[in-house]
C-alpha cells in the first residue's frame, strides 16, 4: 500500500472528495433561498445521481479497455466546471443543471479509482485495502463540510465554490502528472490483473453482482434521504454554519477511522453477515434521527451512523473486488456506482415527497431507516450461497509474507 500509484490515488481522491462534499450541506439551503420546496430541494441534492446512474455502468467497462487515468482526470475537471457554474448561477434551474453535470464527474472519479485500486489489491487482503482506501474519500467527505462551514461563515457563499474549483483543479493536475497510466504489476504484492469486462447483460445475471449493486443503492437511499434534510433541520434549530459543518463531519470521520479496522475483520469473517449487521444498525440509527432535536444526541447518532455505514461499505467493497476478478473490475464497480446513483436519486426524491405530503421532515428519516431494514433481507436472499460473500482463505504464501518467513524456509512448511 506504500506504492506510488496507491499514494497518489489516495491523496487525489481525498482532496477531490473534500471539494465535492464542501457543497453538500450548502446546496439544499441555497436551493431553499432560490424558492425550492421539499421535492425541489431533494432534486437539487440528487440530480447528479441521474447522470451518475446512466454513465457509471459504461465508464467502468471503458476504463478496463482504455485505461483508468484519463477518466479520473476528466471527472475532476467536470467537477471544477460545476463549481464555477455554482458560483455564476442565479436561478434554481442553473444550480440543478451544474449539479447534474457533476454526476458525470462522480462516475468518472469514484468507480474508475476503485477499479484501479482493485487491480492493485492482493488476493486475501480485499477488506484491508478497501478499508484503508475508503478512509480517503470518507475523511475527505468529512473535512469538506467542516471547511465549507468555516469558510462560509468567514467569507460568504462564493468563497466555498471558489475553494471547490481550486481543489478540483489541483487534484486533476496531481493525477495527470504523477499517477501511472498503467499499473506496474508486482509479484511481491500478488497484484491482480483486470480481466476483460463481461457484457452488462451477462454481469447482471450474476446474483452476487445484483446483490452488491442493490447494497450500494440501499446505503445511498439512507444517506440521501437523511442528508438532504439534515442541513435544513439543523438550520431550523438555529445551529450556526460552522457547527453544521462539524456535525456533518462527525459521520464521515467516524466512518473513515473505523473502516481500516473493519477491513481486517472483513478478511477474517463472513463479509455477507458483516454487511447485514451494518445495514440493520444503520437502519435503526438513521430512523432515530427523526425523533430527536437535541444537538448532542444528533452528534452521537451520527458517530454511530458513520461506523455502521463503514462496516457495510468496507464489506461490500471487498466482495466487489473478489467478484470483479472473474467478471471485470470496471464492470462490477461501475454497476455498483450506478446503484449508488440510483439510491441517491430515489432516496432524495422520496424523502422530499414524503416531507411535502406530511409536512414533517421526520418522514425522510423514517423512510431511510425502513428502506435499509427491508433491503437487508433482500440482500441476504440474493447473496445466499455465494462464495464471494465469505472471507477468502488466505494462501500459504501470503501467511509467510505476513510472518516474514524467509523464502528458503517455505518449502518445508508448505
pLDDT in tens, 205-227: 788 888 888 888 888 888 777 77
d(CA 378, CA 201): 21
| Domain spans of the chain, in order of start | 4-177+196-385
Residue 159 burial (CB count, 10 A): 14
Handedness of CA 341, 117, 104, 331 (dihedral sign): negative
**Higher-confidence position of 127 and 399:** 127
Length of the chain: 414
d(CA 62, CA 114): 14
- pLDDT, residue 414, reads 37
Per-residue H/E/C for the chain: CCCHHHHHHHHHHHHHHHHHHCCCCCHHHHHHHCCCCHHHHHHHHHCHHHHHHHHHHHHHHHHHHHCCHHHHHHHHHHHHHHHHHHHHCCCHHHHHHHHHHHHHHHHHHHHHHHHHHHHHCCCCCHHHHHHHHHHHHHHHHHHHHHHHHHHHHHHCHHHHHHHHHHHHHHHHHHHHHHCCCCCCCCCCCCCCCCCCCCCHHHHCCCHHHHHHHHHHHHHHHHHHHHHHHHHHHHHHCCCCHHHHHHHHHHHHHHHHHHHHHHHHHHCCCCHHHHHHHHHHHHHHHHHHHHHCCCHHHHHHHHHHHHHHHHHHHHHHHHHHHHHHHHHCHHHHHHHHHHHHHHHHHHHHHHHHHHHHHHCCCHHHHHHHHHHHHHHHHHHHHHCCCCHHHCCCCCCHHHHHHHHCCCHHHHHHHC
Where residue 281 falls among pLDDT bands split at 50, 70, 90? very high
Query: What value does the mean pLDDT of the chain take?
Result: 77
**pLDDT reading at 284 higher than 80:** yes
- pLDDT, residue 2, reads 61
**Which of 133, 138, 146, 134 has the alpha carbon at shortest distance from 306?**
138
**pLDDT reading at 230 higher than 90:** no
**Higher-confidence position of 313 and 241:** 313
d(CA 192, CA 118): 7
- pLDDT, residue 190, reads 42
**Higher-confidence position of 196 and 267:** 267
Q: What is the mean pLDDT of residues 301-307?
A: 89
- pLDDT, residue 92, reads 78
b/e map of 285-298 (b: 16 or more CB within 10 Å)?
Answer: bbbbbbeeeeeeeb
**pLDDT reading at 189 higher than 70:** no
- pLDDT, residue 277, reads 93
- pLDDT, residue 280, reads 92
The domain 4-177+196-385 is classified under which CATH number: 1.10.10.10, 3.40.50.300, 2.40.128.90, 1.20.1250.20? 1.20.1250.20
d(CA 30, CA 3): 41
**In this structure, what C-alpha cell is assigned to residue 393?**
482463505
For 66-103, the pLDDT digits (tens) are: 888 889 999 889 888 988 888 887 777 788 888 888 87
Gyration radius of the chain over CA positions = 21
Q: What is the mean pLDDT of residues 249-276?
A: 85
Least confident range of 323-332, 337-346, 402-411:
402-411
d(CA 34, CA 292): 28
Which of left, alpha, beta for 323 (phi over 0: left; psi -120 to 50: alpha)? alpha
For 32-64, the pLDDT digits (tens) are: 777 666 667 767 766 777 787 888 878 877 887
Amino acid at each position: 500500500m506504500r506504492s506510488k500509484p496507491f499514494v497518489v490515488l489516495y491523496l487525489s481522491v481525498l482532496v477531490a472528495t473534500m471539494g465535492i462534499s464542501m457543497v453538500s450541506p450548502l446546496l439544499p439551503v441555497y436551493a431553499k433561498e432560490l424558492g425550492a420546496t421539499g421535492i425541489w430541494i431533494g432534486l437539487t441534492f440528487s440530480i447528479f445521481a441521474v447522470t451518475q446512474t446512466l454513465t457509471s455502468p459504461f465508464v467502468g467497462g471503458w476504463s478496463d479497455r482504455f485505461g483508468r487515468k484519463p477518466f479520473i482526470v476528466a471527472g475532476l475537471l467536470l467537477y471544477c466546471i460545476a463549481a464555477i457554474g455554482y458560483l455564476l448561477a442565479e436561478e434554481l434551474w442553473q444550480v440543478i443543471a451544474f449539479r447534474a453535470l457533476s454526476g458525470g464527474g462522480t462516475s468518472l472519479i469514484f468507480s474508475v479509482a476503485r477499479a484501479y485500486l482493485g487491480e492493485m489489491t492482493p488476493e486475501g487482503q480485499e477488506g484491508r485495502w478497501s478499508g484503508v482506501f475508503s478512509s480517503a474519500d470518507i475523511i475527505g467527505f468529512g473535512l469538506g463540510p467542516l471547511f465549507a462551514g468555516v469558510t462560509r461563515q468567514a467569507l460568504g457563499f462564493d468563497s466555498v465554490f471558489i475553494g471547490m474549483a481550486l481543489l478540483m483543479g489541483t487534484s486533476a493536475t496531481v493525477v495527470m502528472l504523477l499517477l501511472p497510466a498503467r499499473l506496474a504489476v508486482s509479484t511481491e504484492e500478488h497484484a491482480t490483473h483486470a480481466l476483460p469486462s463481461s457484457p452488462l447483460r451477462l454481469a447482471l445475471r450474476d446474483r452476487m453482482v445484483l446483490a452488491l449493486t442493490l447494497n450500494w443503492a440501499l446505503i445511498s437511499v439512507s444517506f440521501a434521504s437523511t442528508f438532504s434534510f439534515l442541513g435544513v433541520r439543523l438550520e431550523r434549530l438555529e445551529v450556526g454554519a460552522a457547527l453544521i459543518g462539524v456535525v456533518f463531519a462527525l459521520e464521515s470521520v467516524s466512518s473513515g477511522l473505523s473502516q481500516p479496522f473493519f477491513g481486517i475483520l472483513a478478511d477474517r469473517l463472513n463479509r455477507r453477515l458483516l454487511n447485514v449487521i451494518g445495514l440493520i444498525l444503520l437502519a435503526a440509527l438513521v430512523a432515530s434521527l427523526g425523533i430527536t432535536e437535541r444537538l448532542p444526541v444528533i452528534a452521537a447518532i451520527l458517530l454511530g451512523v458513520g461506523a455502521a455505514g463503514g462496516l457495510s461499505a468496507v464489506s461490500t467493497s471487498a466482495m466487489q473486488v473478489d467478484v470483479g476478478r472473474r467478471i471485470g473490475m470496471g464492470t462490477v464497480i461501475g454497476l455498483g456506482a450506478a446503484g449508488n446513483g440510483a439510491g441517491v436519486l430515489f432516496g432524495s426524491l422520496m424523502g422530499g415527497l414524503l416531507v411535502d405530503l406530511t409536512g414533517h421532515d421526520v418522514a425522510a428519516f423514517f423512510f431511510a431507516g425502513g428502506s435499509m431494514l427491508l433491503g437487508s433481507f433482500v440482500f441476504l436472499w440474493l447473496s445466499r450461497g455465494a462464495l464471494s460473500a465469505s472471507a477468502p482463505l488466505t494462501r500459504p504464501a501470503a501467511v509467510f509474507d505476513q510472518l516474514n518467513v524467509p523464502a528458503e524456509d517455505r518449502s518445508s512448511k508448505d
